[in-house]
């Protein structure tokens, strides 16, 4: 199994070759002066998330050429931003929950609103500058999220008036305010709704569309709607056209001074080609060194190539002995600049809604939502479960399972009235013969509602019919061949389709539903673990008709035909070098961390594999638990299955620990 040569941190040679590294204080950008503001930590140098009260507010003017203090009082300066004309700075005090503005030239600080300032925007129709204010703070995995976003004018006609109540603008709960950025027309915004799913919000429809997993999304300030999001290594941004869905990766950490280290706080300026970020983050050990911050963190200014495929220049702005966080950049004339990318006039929203859909989860990257537009991504992985290369659920045994939270009262209430229901999923078995539960809806007292089992190479469904379990054989499942299964019941009429083949039967009574969890796979200690992958999950509160099934089957078949199937090999290899692994508490709110090791090939047991030495990532932490199966002893020979790491797009946003001497070895994923 041979893959194209890659560097583990995607330090593409073309990026290094084309980058013009400018040191010192560059006087202008494309002939235009520029300004920056940021929060500088005067405490323990750890306020990288901007939640404490230990910073001063800093500024930089390219016509002056040096770092200056804008507000020297130590306090809270959350998400500082420059106004569209560059003359004002807006920031938020997390301690008082207030938004302030201050002239860039210095002067009196004025209250603008109550809440947290998420974005500044100039209305192209009337030239009015608006502050978008996040309201109703929510606790979310220890991160600041908000219940809604309103709007207030930046400037009031009469000074001294009390702050205005923000007018409604965006009603999406769980919005991460640090990443909410608007397009020039104000129709589309980037954000996380909430972390770790990033995407774009369509303001008119009050709906958001997921694009990728990661952190720190941002949106180009023109109308290209170009979107980016950090990958899990905190070294690259993954750019994406949300309409064409074309995406590519650009490295931010290869400039001298950053030296391949982690970077953070990337934010687009008012000019499409220029942005800012901070780094290097080199304190501590393991992945996610962001949390250790440190005195050596400086502000960098990046410039994209004209086609946005790489970096054209990197400028180091600050040099001091403090931690510099949350920068924002303003370029004179940037608000009128337009990139060479296609400019859009709105984002089309599909409206093919099935109001009988109770739960739907196609893949982790799909736009999973219910009939009212609510997101349905709330599927939690446990034990030996992870996302596969097509963002599907992969269950590898040892209790690997996935479930949406809740007691599903609404499902039981609705189905109890209609006596009609449908359960659908695509199952791909990893073993030709095995015994294990593929899906279960079991009552808390242990009695069955419904579950699907594989026994040898056959699939069975068991249902609670008038209080007694009834088992029906459905058909055959083959190793590594997707089985699209639809089970649909109306009163006592039972129908099931296996890849379009109908199994029909009349039940002796009506199905009965009791309170309990929905589980794909099986919990540790409750039964035999099923191994395979699951996708295209739907639960519908009615029976599907034959024409609907035919249409759905054709759609799913077409989607599955585009899926990637990475080459896999089983090998024995000796561990020669090992990166550090953090702890679940240290990486929170992340739940996974991949740790790299260096190996010498001993024997190929299955498949094709030619690398005599190679690097391989293993899950050191999986689903917020230490992975006991990870290789840990240098010199020991391990047996494991491998897939090329560059064929694992679902892992791009995961934390990675890489302390190996040779960064050029081909990289693989050790399957858990």
pLDDT value, residue 604? 97
CA pseudo-torsion sign 522, 523, 525, 531 = positive
Residue 177 DSSP one-character state: G
- Give the CATH superfamily of 13-336: Kelch-type beta propeller (2.120.10.80)
Average pLDDT of the chain to the nearest whole number: 86
Question: How many residues can be counted in the chain?
Answer: 672
Return all residues near 361 (Cβ < 8 A) that are at least 6 apart.
368, 376, 377, 379, 404, 537, 538
Query: What pLDDT was estimated at residue 119?
Result: 96
Structural contact between residues 90 and 99, judged by C-beta atoms closer than 8 angstroms: yes
Residue 75 in contact with residue 95, Cβ under 8 Å? yes
Strands (E), 83-122: 88-93, 98-103, 110-114, 116-122
Query: Rounded to whole angstroms, how far apart are CA atoms 524 and 539?
Result: 24
Q: Residues 31-44: pLDDT tens digits?
A: 899 999 999 999 99
Question: What pLDDT is recorded for position 427?
Answer: 97
- Check if the beta carbon of residue 223 is closer than 8 Å to that of residue 345: yes
Beta bridge partners of 279: 298
Q: Beta 298-304 vs 311-316: how paired, if at all?
A: antiparallel
Q: Select from 242, 206, 278 the least CA-distant residue to 38.
A: 278
Give pLDDT, residue 367. 74
* CA dihedral sign, ordered 335, 341, 346, 347: negative
Instruction: Give the tokens for residue 164.
Output: 């205005």
> 176 preceded by cis ω (within 30°)?
no
Extents of the domains making up the chain: 13-336, 357-561, 569-670
Give residue 382's pLDDT. 87
Is-contact 183 225, C-beta < 8 A? yes
Burial of 370 by CB count in 10 Å (0-12 exposed, 13-18 middle, 19+ buried)? middle
The CATH fold assigned to 357-561 is Jelly Rolls (2.60.120)
Torsion of CA 457, 458, 461, 462, to 10 degrees: -80
CA 152 to chain centre: 30
Q: What is the predicted pLDDT for the residue at 369?
A: 66
Q: Tokens 């301690």 — which residue?
A: 95
Compute the C-alpha angle 333/337/339, nearest 5°: 155
Comparing C-alpha atoms, which of 1, 42, 541, 549 is closest to residue 324? 42
Is residue 137 a contact partner of residue 146, using CB atoms and an 8 Å limit?
A: yes
Spatial CB neighbours of 262, under 8 Å, sequence gap ≥ 6:
233, 234, 235, 253, 279, 280, 281, 282, 288, 289, 290
Q: Please give the pLDDT value at position 4.
A: 29
Dihedral angle of Cα 313, 89, 225, 363, to the nearest 10 degrees: 100
How many other C-beta atoms can be found within 10 angstroms of the C-beta atom of residue 353? 12
* Residue 50: DSSP 8-state: S
8-state DSSP, 261: -
Cβ(520)–Cβ(439) below 8 Å: yes
Nearest to 253 by CA among 619, 583, 594, 7: 7
Q: How far apart are CA 587 and CA 287, in angstroms?
A: 8
SS3 258: coil
Residue 322: phi and psi, rounded to 5, are -125, 165
Q: What is the pLDDT of residue 227?
A: 96
d(CA 68, CA 53): 20
Under 8 Å CB-to-CB from 580, ≥6 apart: which residues?
285, 286, 595, 657, 659
- What is the Cα–Cα distance from 154 to 514, expressed in whole angstroms? 55
CATH class of 569-670: mainly beta
pLDDT at 281: 92
What is the pLDDT at residue 445? 64
**Cα gap 528→399, rounded to integer Å:** 8
User: How many Å apart are CA 294 and CA 278, to the nearest integer?
Assistant: 11
638-653, pLDDT tens digit by residue? Answer: 999 999 999 999 998 8
What distance in Å separates the CA atoms of residue 359 and residue 357, rounded to the nearest whole number? 6
Tokens standing for residue 560: 């599955």
Q: What is the largest CA-CA distance in the chain?
A: 85
CA gap 299, 302 in Å, rounded: 10
What residue ranges in 448-568 does DSSP mark as E strands? 448-456, 458-465, 468-476, 483-490, 493-498, 501-506, 518-521, 531-540
Q: Answer positive or negative: Cα dihedral of 545, 546, 551, 557.
A: positive
Distance between CA atoms of residues 419 and 337, nearest Å:
59
Instruction: Write down the pLDDT at residue 543.
Output: 87
All residue ranges of the chain with pLDDT < 50 are 1-25, 351
């Amino acid at each position: 199994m041979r893959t194209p040569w890659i560097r583990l941190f995607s330090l593409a040679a073309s990026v290094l070759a084309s980058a013009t590294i400018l040191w010192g204080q560059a006087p202008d950008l494309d002939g235009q002066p520029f300004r920056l503001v940021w929060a500088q930590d005067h405490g323990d140098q750890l306020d990288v998330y901007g939640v404490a009260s230990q910073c001063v507010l800093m500024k930089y003017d390219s016509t002056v050429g040096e770092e200056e203090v804008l507000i020297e009082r130590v306090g809270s300066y959350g998400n500082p931003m420059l106004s569209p004309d560059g003359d004002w700075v807006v920031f938020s005090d997390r301690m008082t929950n207030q938004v302030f503005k201050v002239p860039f030239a210095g002067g009196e600080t004025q209250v603008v609103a109550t809440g947290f300032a998420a974005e500044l925007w100039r209305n192209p129709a009337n030239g009015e500058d608006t502050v978008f204010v996040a309201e109703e703070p929510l606790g979310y995995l220890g991160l600041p999220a908000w219940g809604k976003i309103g709007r207030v004018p930046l400037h009031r006609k009469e000074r001294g008036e009390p702050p205005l109540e923000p007018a409604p603008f965006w009603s999406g709960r769980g919005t991460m305010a640090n990443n909410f950025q608007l397009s020039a027309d104000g129709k589309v915004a980037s954000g996380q709704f909430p972390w770790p799913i990033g995407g774009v919000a369509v303001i008119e429809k009050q709906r958001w569309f997921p694009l990728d997993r990661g952190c720190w999304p941002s949106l180009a300030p023109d109308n290209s709607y170009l979107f980016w999001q950090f990958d899990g290594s905190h070294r690259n941004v993954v750019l994406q056209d949300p309409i064409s869905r074309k995406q590519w990766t650009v490295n931010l950490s290869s400039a001298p001074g950053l030296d391949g280290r982690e970077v953070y706080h990337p934010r687009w300026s008012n000019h499409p080609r220029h942005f800012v970020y901070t780094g290097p983050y080199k304190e501590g050990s393991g992945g996610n060194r962001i949390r250790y911050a440190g005195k050596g963190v400086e502000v960098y200014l990046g410039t994209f190539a004209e086609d946005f495929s790489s970096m054209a220049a990197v400028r180091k702005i600050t040099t001091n002995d403090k931690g510099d966080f949350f920068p924002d950049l303003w370029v004179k004339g940037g608000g009128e600049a337009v990139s060479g990318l296609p400019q859009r006039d709105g984002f089309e929203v599909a409206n093919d809604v099935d109001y009988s859909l109770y739960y739907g989860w196609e893949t982790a990257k799909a736009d999973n939502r219910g009939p009212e537009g609510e997101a349905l991504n709330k599927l939690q992985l446990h034990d030996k479960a992870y996302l596969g290369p097509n963002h599907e659920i992969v269950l590898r045994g040892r209790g690997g399972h996935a479930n949406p939270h809740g007691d599903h009262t609404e499902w039981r209430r609705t189905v109890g009235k209609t006596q009609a229901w449908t359960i659908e999923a695509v199952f791909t078995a990893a073993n030709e013969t095995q015994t294990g539960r593929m899906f279960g809806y079991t009552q808390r007292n242990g009695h069955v509602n419904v579950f699907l089992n594989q026994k040898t190479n056959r699939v069975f469904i068991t249902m609670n019919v008038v209080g007694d379990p009834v088992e029906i054989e459905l058909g055959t499942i083959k190793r590594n061949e997707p089985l699209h299964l639809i089970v649909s019941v109306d009163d006592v009429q039972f129908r099931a389709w296996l890849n379009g083949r109908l199994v029909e039967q009349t039940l002796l009574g009506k199905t009965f539903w009791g309170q309990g969890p929905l589980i794909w796979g099986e919990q540790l200690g409750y039964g035999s673990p099923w191994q395979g992958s699951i996708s295209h999950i739907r639960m519908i509160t009615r029976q599907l008709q034959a024409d609907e099934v035919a249409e759905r089957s054709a759609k799913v078949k077409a989607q599955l035909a585009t899926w990637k199937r990475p080459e896999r090999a089983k090998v024995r290899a000796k561990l020669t070098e090992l990166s550090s692994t953090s702890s679940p508490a240290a990486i929170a709110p992340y739940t996974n961390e991949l740790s790299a090791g260096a190996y010498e090939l001993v024997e190929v047991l299955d498949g094709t594999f030619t690398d005599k030495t190679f690097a391989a990532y293993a899950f050191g932490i999986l689903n917020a638990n230490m992975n006991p199966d990870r290789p840990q002893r240098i010199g020991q020979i391990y047996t494991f299955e491998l897939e090329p790491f560059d064929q694992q797009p679902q892992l791009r946003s995961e934390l990675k620990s890489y302390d190996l001497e040779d960064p050029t070895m081909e990289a693989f994923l050790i399957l858990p």
